[in-house]
Amino acid sequence: MASLTNVNPALAAYLNEADPALWYRVYCPGDRYNIKTSNIAESITSMLKKAKGYPITYLIEFITKNLGRWYWKRREDALSLTTTFSRGVEYLLAVREHYADMMTVKRIDVWRFHVHGGQRDCLVDFEEKSCSCGVFGVEKIPCSHAIKAVKSAGWHMSTVVEAYYRKDYVYVSYATNIMPNVEHAPIGPDIRCIPPIPKRNWQAKESLVGLHG
Ligand SMILES: [Zn+2]
């Protein structure tokens, strides 16, 4: 926000006046987790390029067939995981653990830890599932401070990572089969849709003349 204020103070003022809960993830009252949905839309758009200009029935067949293949591939991938969490979350935890190993920690009570090192010293609270850096509370994936605290307490990582990131949740997301249409043969891509013939203005005028004249 400081950088934005320097570049465009009017825009910064406008954003401050608007409700930050509407555009700032850390102030959102709901749980947003760590999923970026625009990637899904981009993948669908890229897939649909190949079916551009085909009849609608063929387009539906095309989408069904491709989604069926995507679901099957992702289901197989989730089944092949030997880790506790999804591939992306495991990678994130490994990177953060690397930084956590350079930190020091002091335990305050059963749930609270004071972690030193990194960009700032932080208070990790496992009862509240939060860290003063803000990352743990927003993502539901422990930040490097929380990882340091978990390791020092000798707890398993699965006790602090939100269950939605587990590999069985990934599998369940793609568990449903998308069945192909075998009842009706689709119209093939060789048949092209022709636009309707427009009614010209002079025809309309002539019929009016015919009515009144
Ligand atoms: Zn933190």
pLDDT digits (tens, 9 = 90+) for 186-198: 566 666 667 778 7
- Regarding whether 98 and 62 lie in a shared domain, the answer is yes
Instruction: Report the alpha-carbon distance of residue 191 to residue 207 in Å, rounded.
Output: 35
Per-residue model confidence as pLDDT tens digits over 18-31:
888 888 877 888 77
Spacing, Cα 136 to ligand 1 middle (Å): 6
Spacing, Cα 3 to ligand 1 middle (Å): 23
Domain ranges, residue 142: 30-173
**Do 142 and 100 meet the contact criterion of CB atoms below 8 Å apart?**
no
The arithmetic mean of pLDDT across residues 122-139, rounded, is: 93
Instruction: Report the alpha-carbon distance of residue 133 to residue 157 in Å, rounded.
Output: 19
- Regarding whether 80 and 4 lie in a shared domain, the answer is no
Spacing, Cα 149 to ligand 1 middle (Å): 10
Spacing, Cα 144 to ligand 1 middle (Å): 6
pLDDT at 202: 62
- Regarding whether 43 and 111 lie in a shared domain, the answer is yes
In a domain, 157, yes or no: yes
Q: pTM here?
A: 0.69
The arithmetic mean of pLDDT across residues 43-72, rounded, is: 88
